[in-house]
Amino acid sequence: MLNIATRLTSAVVLLVAFALSAPAMAQQASKELSSESAIETIKKRGAIKIGLSIFKPWSMRDKNGDLIGFELDVGRKLAEDMGVEAEFIPTAWDGIIPALVSGKFDAIISGMTTTPQRNLTINFTDPYAYSGLTILANTKMTAGLTEVEDYNSEDITFAARRGATPAALIPQMFPKAKLLLFDEDGASTQEVLNGKAHATMSSEPTPSNEARRYPDVLNVPFETAFSASGEAFGIRKGDPDAVNYFNNWINYHTRTGWLKERHDYWFRGNDWADMVPAD
């Protein structure tokens, strides 16, 4: 009888000890996760490293060679709110995800559309901007093509930036058409301008701006925006602390209207056009 009582007492002691230690263990685990977060690395470093690719008006160089654009405004505001400096690292688009994974920077802020394929490799925040793709066509070469379906032909050639959303969408929408791929965003437009491709696709306001610049050569044949979706920060997997912070930052500045105001400035107007060199 005494042996049973002793066992019961020992079990109760163990249960009480576990109950008392569980919160401490959870707190320790939370501290360890937090210490491994990019947020803590950024705070200790005193700077957030941001990977981006150069394409208007997301990010571009002004006449002095300095980086400007929507992404630069976002990155600098984010750094300001974190009390750190912003360090921007221009990176080729097709290598930007591997560079993030390898630790070259803390986040991708570069108008990256969330896709299931990309999400297999990196995590995404909530969207901080929304845009769709439109077709930019060579007017003379596409005369008589009045429907979107008309572009799905073996006689049609598209141009697109390698690794970008249009490069994946064009084969889906126009499987019969030919597709030329380039490393730079502007090269696709140049190919259409030179009459070497019938059309390209990109996010507004680029197609409309190019059509206004070359009204005798280029046009946006359809008002429809294709694959309208959100752009998000890209971050390394396994970092819930960073996801939480960046999501809260995005949601806060969505509510205040700051993100919309900056997006409207860069995408709905061209007051900034004189700041950048002519192509």
Per-chain mean pLDDT for the chain:
88
On the question of pLDDT at 82 being above 90, the answer is yes
Interatomic CA distance for residues 175 and 180, integer angstroms: 13
Residue 219's pLDDT band (cuts 50, 70, 90): very high
Residue 193's pLDDT band (cuts 50, 70, 90): very high
Which residues make beta-bridge pairs with 90? 52
Tell me which architecture the domain covering 38-130+229-275 has in CATH.
3-Layer(aba) Sandwich (3.40)
Q: What is the pLDDT of residues 124-154, one digit of tens each?
A: 999 999 877 899 999 999 999 999 999 999 9
The alpha carbons of the chain give a radius of gyration, in whole angstroms, of 25
Residue 262's pLDDT band (cuts 50, 70, 90): very high
What pLDDT shows up at residue 101? 97
Which residues make beta-bridge pairs with 87? 49
Instruction: Tell me which residue of 157, 190, 173 sits closest to 226, measured CA to CA.
Output: 173
Other Cβ atoms closer than 10 A to 238: 11
Interatomic CA distance for residues 177 and 163, integer angstroms: 18
Instruction: Tell me which residue of 109, 147, 121 sits closest to 246, measured CA to CA.
Output: 109
Which ranges in 163-239 belong to alpha helices (H)? 165-173, 185-193, 206-213
Instruction: Tell me which residue of 107, 100, 112, 61 sits closest to 86, measured CA to CA.
Output: 107
Contact yes or no for 227/165 (Cβ under 8 A): yes
Report the run of H or E that residue 249 belongs to, with start and end.
helix 240-255
Tell me which architecture the domain covering 132-227 has in CATH.
3-Layer(aba) Sandwich (3.40)
Q: Which of the given ranges, 17-31, 37-51, 227-241, has the highest pLDDT on average?
A: 37-51
Instruction: For CATH 3.40.190.10, list the domain ranges present in the chain.
Output: 38-130+229-275, 132-227
Angle at 182 (CA atoms; ends 180, 187), nearest 5 degrees:
100
Query: Is the peptide bond prior to 171 cis by the omega test (within 30 degrees of 0)?
Result: no
